[in-house]
Structures are given as structure tokens and as C-alpha cells.
């Protein structure tokens, strides 16, 4: 009964999305003006019905209702409860239901709180959001029904992919989806502004919190996903340029450019066309990522292996949504005026330069992701990996980071490099000293050396906007910018350190033997079988000591899951302030020795610490912007109330 209840809620939500689209569109015409009053309430109820449907699916997974096909294919009665819960979105249909649920709730929240935009623009925005949602409702109901019944009911479920049975699954996909759907709201804002020709600071101020929120969640999702892959897959790496990793990176690059462009439009009434176009591109990249994951053309631990018909459905949605938006932009581009002018050497100029660099990097990643797929469709096998992505991205990222260090120090409208040269002298000297130190003490390659040098200079330069300010009086938005830019430097330092200084050893060890890796001594003490709720494993006990210190134990495992049957490696990590020891247990050879894979990774944890700092910086900026907007709104209401009393 719960499945039918959830399906009914999903159909009702789809019907309300159609009503929201129709009423919102007709309300923009003279004859349909009376429908304007129903658009906001319909958006709220639609979001609540989507939530009801998703909660129903979660209940079905928690109860392991094997009469529902999705539960039978992705769960098992012996699976730990947390993975039953996370399994609700750890599959194709469930993740798409989460997508439309968050999209519906976002539209409902937008309808409730947004009062700054002119009403016609708001109606057009809600109609645009309903149009996008309606396509995904159709996809779920016609192609990917999450509540489909299964007959006969199996005695047991097939279980969840063991690689996904990790606590990271409970956080990584939802945070990414919140980011993707936040960009759908930005897309709808762009459509609404184009329809009503209201592209100005008010539009940018309304859209900016959504873009910033989406960017925060994308940052957290990518950071969490990177660490999850790092410790779960047992490969010792934090980024592999996997096409599905790229699918999350591309919207983040576009959202970063959109965030800065919207801020300039909100504050300085410039970059109008840039902001509209980036709003379309950012959500386009989310749609491209959705297509890659769900089309069946990728083989990845991330990808859902679904049939090509579903991929064709999403490709059609991509063509309709993005093609329609670009067509509308082409038709209305002449009405999007340039806005206020500014000199090339100015804060706006620095932001435009970095937006161009971000867009170029996005193009590099998009080409490297899609080219192998196109080549394979034509019968050729092509592999595109780090030898392409790393140097090609560095061509654009390196100058972007230099401008990132200088840009916040420039004045709006017009400035000179001579005025800020004294301020950037110290970061430049620090970068030069880092270059000399790296060249003298290590034999790092060009790209890791460049990363360490840029990280050192940017770390100091990112703090310079605080100089001369009263720290208590510094706006939260400025603190957020400083923290986010400092986080970029920290993450970059971790990436470069991992590339420059990592030490790897693959050994075949007998019990009692000791191996040195970097400053660590690793002794294999014993191997013994252990069992979990739905797996068995061979577990190694390693005694590891750092520079002759007291030994501590690490317990890497080689696990065997039985539903579905699969072998996985569970790494054991020992973290110190200056890096991590990464240990993986392999197979036993014929002579009784055990394979051990050991890494010493200096400062690798800075990668994820930097990612968290970037997201926290975004959160501070969001809180600052929201509080500023609230103060402005309260002041405006007080003025209106005063004028009303005076009129009486």
C-alpha cells in the first residue's frame, strides 16, 4: 500500500507541475492575470507531494519490501540499516526521485520566500522551474518508476553494490543533488529574466543566494566524493579524471564563474549577458552529467548501468531544456544591455578574466570527457587521462590563480597595478622563496612545483583583503571570500604535495617481517578471518611506527560480500599532522606471503581540509548576503510603512 501511496503522490506532484507551468505562463498575459494567485501555492504543494513520495520510498527500503522491484534489486534483509536507508538513493530510480523531490522543494521554498523580484519575473521563474521539473517527472513515471511492483516476490533481495556500502554514500549523492538542483533554480531565474526582460541588479540579488547555496553543496559533495573514493577504492588516489568525477566538476566550474558574475551584476550592474549565459551553462553541465551517469555509455563505480532508452530520454530533456534556453537567449540577447562599463584593470576586469579561465578549463574538461565516447561510437578506443587533463588545465588554472591573488585588492571600475604592487610584493617573495626551496630540496616535476609555489603565494595574498580593516566590523561576505580563497591555496598545496612527495611500496611480506615506507616502519603482525553483518574478510594487523616512535595498530581488510558476491579492499589509514600512511591488504601468494600496498602521502589531507574551508567560506558569504538582504528589506518595509502613515 505504501508503494501505491508514493506513486499516487508522484503523479499528483507531476500534475501540479503541469498546472504551475500553465498558470505561470498564462498569468503573464492580460487575460490570464487572475491565475497569478495560484502559482505560488501550487509550487509549495507540489514540493510537499514530492517529499511524500520520497519518504514513502525510504520506508519501503527500511522495511525491505521485496514486492517492490527497486528494493529487491538494491537491498537485502541482512544489510545494515544505514545502507538500507542510503540504498533508497543509491540506485537509478531512487536518485532521480531524490532529484525531483529536491527540485520541487526548492521551487516551493522559492515561492514562499522570494519577494524582491517583480511579480511577472517571479511567475516566469516559477513557470520555468515547473517546466524543468515536469520533464523529470515524465522521465520517472514513464521510464523509471521507483514504485514498480515485482511478481512473484523473491525470497531475498540482490543487495547493494558493496563499493557503495559506505557511510560516504549517505552524504555524497544528496549534497551533489542539492547543488545540481540549486543550479536548476538559477537556470529558471535566467529564463524568467529573459522572458520579462528584467536582467538587472534585482534579478542578480535574488539569484545569488541560490547560486551560492548550490556552489557550497557542490563543493562539499565533490570533496566528500573525493575522500570516499580515496579510502574506499584502495587505489591510493584522490582524483582519477573519471568521466563521472568530471561530470560533477564541470557544473562546479560553471557555478564558480556564475557566482562571481552574479555578484558583479548585483553590486555594479555589469556583466548582464555573462550572468544569463552562465546560468544556462551551469545547469547544462548538470544535465550533461546526468546523461553521462544514466545513459549506459560509461563503465564506472559511480555510473548506473541503465538501458540506452533512458539515456535517450535524458538526452531529449537536455536538448529541450538547454536548446530552448539558448534559443530564448538568442532571441532576447539584443534586449540584454551591456550594463555599466569598467576598465580592464579593475576588480570587475579581474573577475571577467578569471571567468574566461574557468570557462576555458570547463571546455578542456568537457572535451576530454566526451571525446573518448565519441571516438568509441566511431569504432576507435581512445583513453584520455591525467597526461591530458593535468597540463591542459594548468595552462588556464595557473594564470587564474595569479589573478585570484591580485583581484580582491583592486578597486571597482578602474585601478592601476602600481597601486597594489606594494601589497602583492610579500606574497610574490614568498612564492619565489617556495620555488627556490622546492627546487633545492626535491626533484618534483614541473606541475607539482608550480602548484606548491602558487599555493604559497595565494595563501598569503588571500589574507590581504583583511589588512587595515577592523576585524569585528569586516562584513561576513569579505570573511567568506578570504576563507574560500585561502581554502583554494590549502587544497592546491595538498594536491601538489601528494604529487611531489608521495612514496609507494608494493611488497610481498611474511608474518613478522618489517617494511620501510617513507618515515614509517610497517610490520605484518598477523592475518586472521573476521566477519561482518553481510561480509567476511581476511584482516591484517599491522604495527606501524613513525620515525622510531611507539607502534600503533592498523587493520586493512580484504572483504568478500555474498549479496551480491564481490571482493573489495578496505584500506587502513593512519593520519598525522603532516600526512597519511595508507595501507591495503592484497592476496596471498603460493609461498604464503601476503601482498601489501603501502603509501606515505605527505600533507595529502590538506586537499579535503581546503575543500571544507572553501565551502565554509561560501557559507559565511551566504549568511552575510542573506543578512544584508534582510536588513535592506526591513528598511524598505519601514520606509513604506512610514509613508503610508504619513499619507493617512
Distance (Å, whole) CA 390 – CA 400: 15
Indicate whether 639 belongs to any domain.
no
- Domain boundary pick from 160, 193, 223: 160
End-to-end CA distance of the chain: 59
Range of the domain at 128: 1-160
Indicate whether 106 belongs to any domain.
yes
> What b-and-e string marks burial along 268-300, b requiring 16 or more CB atoms within 10 Å of the CB?
bebbbbbbbbbbbbbbbbbbbbbbbbbbbebee
Indicate whether 1 belongs to any domain.
yes
Evaluate whether 282 touches 320 at the Cβ level (below 8 Å). Answer: no
Q: What's the grid cell of residue 439? A: 627546487
Evaluate whether 93 touches 144 at the Cβ level (below 8 Å). Answer: yes
Distance (Å, whole) CA 615 – CA 618: 5
Indicate whether 73 belongs to any domain.
yes
Strand ranges inside 488-627, DSSP E: 503-509, 514-517, 520-531, 535-546, 552-554, 557-562, 565-570, 572-576, 579-588, 594-602
pTM for the whole thing? Answer: 0.92
The predicted-structure confidence for 151-208, as pLDDT tens digits, reads as follows: 888 878 777 777 777 777 677 878 988 898 889 999 999 999 999 988 888 899 999 9
The predicted-structure confidence for 554-590, as pLDDT tens digits, reads as follows: 999 999 887 778 888 899 999 999 999 999 999 988 8
Indicate whether 320 belongs to any domain.
no
> What pairing do the DSSP bridges indicate for beta strands 565-570 and 579-588?
unpaired
Distance (Å, whole) CA 141 – CA 137: 6
**Alpha carbon 306 to chain centroid distance?**
23
Indicate whether 127 belongs to any domain.
yes
Indicate whether 155 belongs to any domain.
yes
- Domain boundary pick from 145, 160, 175: 160
- Domain boundary pick from 100, 133, 160: 160
Query: How many other C-beta atoms can be found within 10 angstroms of the C-beta atom of residue 114?
Result: 19
The ranges of the chain with pLDDT < 70 are 169, 295-309, 338, 633, 640, 647-648
> What b-and-e string marks burial along 151-184, b requiring 16 or more CB atoms within 10 Å of the CB?
eeeeeebebbbbbbbbebbbebbbbbbbbbbbbb
What's residue 336's pLDDT?
A: 76
Evaluate whether 409 touches 468 at the Cβ level (below 8 Å). Answer: no
Distance (Å, whole) CA 264 – CA 395: 25
How many domains is the chain partitioned into structurally? 2
Evaluate whether 276 touches 193 at the Cβ level (below 8 Å). Answer: yes
Evaluate whether 626 touches 209 at the Cβ level (below 8 Å). Answer: yes
Which is it for the CA torsion 251, 254, 258, 260, positive or negative? Answer: positive
Indicate whether 64 belongs to any domain.
yes
3-class DSSP state of 611: helix
What's residue 169's pLDDT?
A: 66
What's residue 326's pLDDT?
A: 86
What's residue 145's pLDDT?
A: 92
Amino acid at each position: 500500500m505504501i508503494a501505491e501511496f508514493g506513486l499516487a503522490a508522484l503523479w499528483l506532484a507531476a500534475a501540479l507541475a503541469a498546472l504551475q507551468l500553465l498558470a505561470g505562463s498564462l498569468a503573464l498575459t492580460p487575460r490570464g492575470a487572475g491565475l497569478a494567485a495560484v502559482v505560488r501555492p501550487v509550487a509549495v504543494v507540489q514540493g510537499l507531494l514530492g517529499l511524500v513520495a520520497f519518504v514513502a520510498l525510504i520506508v519501503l527500503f527500511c522495511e525491505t519490501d521485496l514486492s517492490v522491484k527497486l528494493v529487491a534489486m538494491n537491498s537485502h534483509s541482512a544489510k545494515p540499516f544505514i545502507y538500507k536507508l542510503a540504498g533508497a538513493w543509491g540506485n537509478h530510480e531512487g536518485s532521480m526521485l531524490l532529484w525531483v523531490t529536491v527540485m520541487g522543494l526548492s521551487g516551493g521554498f522559492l515561492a514562499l520566500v522570494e519577494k524582491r523580484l517583480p511579480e511577472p519575473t517571479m511567475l516566469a521563474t516559477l513557470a520555468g522551474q515547473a517546466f524543468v521539473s515536469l520533464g523529470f517527472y515524465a522521465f520517472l513515471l514513464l521510464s523509471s518508476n521507483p514504485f514498480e511492483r515485482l511478481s512473484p516476490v523473491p525470497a531475498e533481495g540482490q543487495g547493494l553494490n558493496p563499493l557503495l556500502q559506505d557511510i560516504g554514500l549517505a552524504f555524497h549523492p544528496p549534497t551533489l543533488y542539492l547543488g545540481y538542483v540549486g543550479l536548476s533554480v538559477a537556470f529558471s531565474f535566467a529564463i524568467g529574466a529573459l522572458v520579462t526582460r528584467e536582467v538587472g541588479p534585482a534579478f542578480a540579488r535574488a539569484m545569488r543566494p541560490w547560486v551560492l547555496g548550490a556552489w557550497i553543496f557542490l563543493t562539499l559533495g565533490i570533496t566528500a566524493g573525493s575522500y570516499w573514493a580515496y579510502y574506499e577504492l584502495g587505489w591510493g588516489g584522490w582524483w582519477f579524471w573519471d568521466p563521472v568525477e568530471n561530470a560533477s566538476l564541470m557544473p562546479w566550474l560553471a557555478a564558480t564563474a556564475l557566482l562571481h558574475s552574479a555578484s558583479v551584476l548585483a553590486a555594479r550592474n555589469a556583466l548582464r549577458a555573462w550572468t544569463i549565459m552562465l546560468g544556462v551553462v551551469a545547469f547544462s553541465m548538470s544535465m550533461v552529467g546526468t546523461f553521462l551517469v544514466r545513459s549506459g555509455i560509461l563503465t564506472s563505480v559511480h555510473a548506473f548501468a541503465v538501458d540506452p532508452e533512458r539515456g535517450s530520454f535524458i538526452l531529449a530533456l537536455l536538448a529541450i531544456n538547454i536548446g530552448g534556453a539558448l534559443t530564448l537567449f538568442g532571441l532576447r540577447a539584443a534586449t540584454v544591455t551591456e550594463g555599466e562599463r569598467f576598465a580592464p584593470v579593475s576588480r570587475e576586469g579581474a573577475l571577467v578574466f578569471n571567468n574566461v579561465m574557468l570557462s576555458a578549463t570547463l571546455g578542456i574538461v568537457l572535451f576530454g570527457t566526451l571525446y573518448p565516447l565519441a571516438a568509441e561510437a566511431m569504432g576507435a578506443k581512445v583513453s584520455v587521462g591525467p597526461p591530458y587533463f593535468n597540463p591542459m588545465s594548468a595552462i588556464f588554472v595557473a594564470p587564474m590563480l595569479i589573478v585570484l591573488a591580485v583581484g580582491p585588492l583592486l578597486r571597482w571600475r578602474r585601478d592601476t597595478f602600481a597601486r597594489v604592487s606594494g601589497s602583492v610584493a610579500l606574497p610574490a617573495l614568498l612564492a619565489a622563496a617556495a620555488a627556490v626551496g622546492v627546487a633545492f630540496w626535491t626533484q618534483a616535476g614541473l606541475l607539482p612545483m608550480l602548484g606548491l609555489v602558487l599555493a604559497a603565494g595565494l595563501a598569503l595574498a588571500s589574507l590581504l583583503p583583511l589588512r587595515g580593516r577592523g576585524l569585528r566590523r569586516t562584513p561576513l561576505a569579505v570573511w567568506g571570500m578570504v576563507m574560500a580563497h585561502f581554502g583554494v591555496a590549502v587544497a592546491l598545496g595538498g594536491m601538489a604535495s601528494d604529487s611531489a612527495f608521495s612514496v609507494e611500496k608494493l611488497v610481498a611480506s611474511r608474518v613478522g617481517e618489517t617494511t620501510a615506507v617513507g618515515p614509517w616502519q610497517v610490520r605484518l603482525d598477523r592475518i586472521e578471518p573476521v566477519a561482518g553483518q553481510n561480509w567476511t574478510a581476511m584482516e591484517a594487523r599491522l604495527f606501524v611506527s613513525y620515525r622510531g616512535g611507539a607502534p600503533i595498530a592498523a587493520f586493512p581488510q580484504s572483504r568478500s560480500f555474498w549479496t551480491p558476491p564481490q571482493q573489495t579492499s578496505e584500506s587502513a589509514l593512519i593520519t598525522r599532522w603532516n600526512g597519511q600512511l595508507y595501507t591495503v591488504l592484497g592476496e596471498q601468494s603460493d609461498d604464503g606471503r601476503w601482498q601489501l600496498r603501502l603509501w606515505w602521502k605527505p600533507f595529502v589531507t590538506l586537499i579535503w581540509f581546503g575543500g571544507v574551508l572553501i565551502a565554509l567560506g561560501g557559507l559565511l558569504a551566504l549568511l552575510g548576503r542573506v543578512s544584508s538582504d534582510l536588513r535592506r528589506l526591513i528598511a524598505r518595509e519601514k520606509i513604506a510603512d512610514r509613508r503610508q502613515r504619513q499619507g493617512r
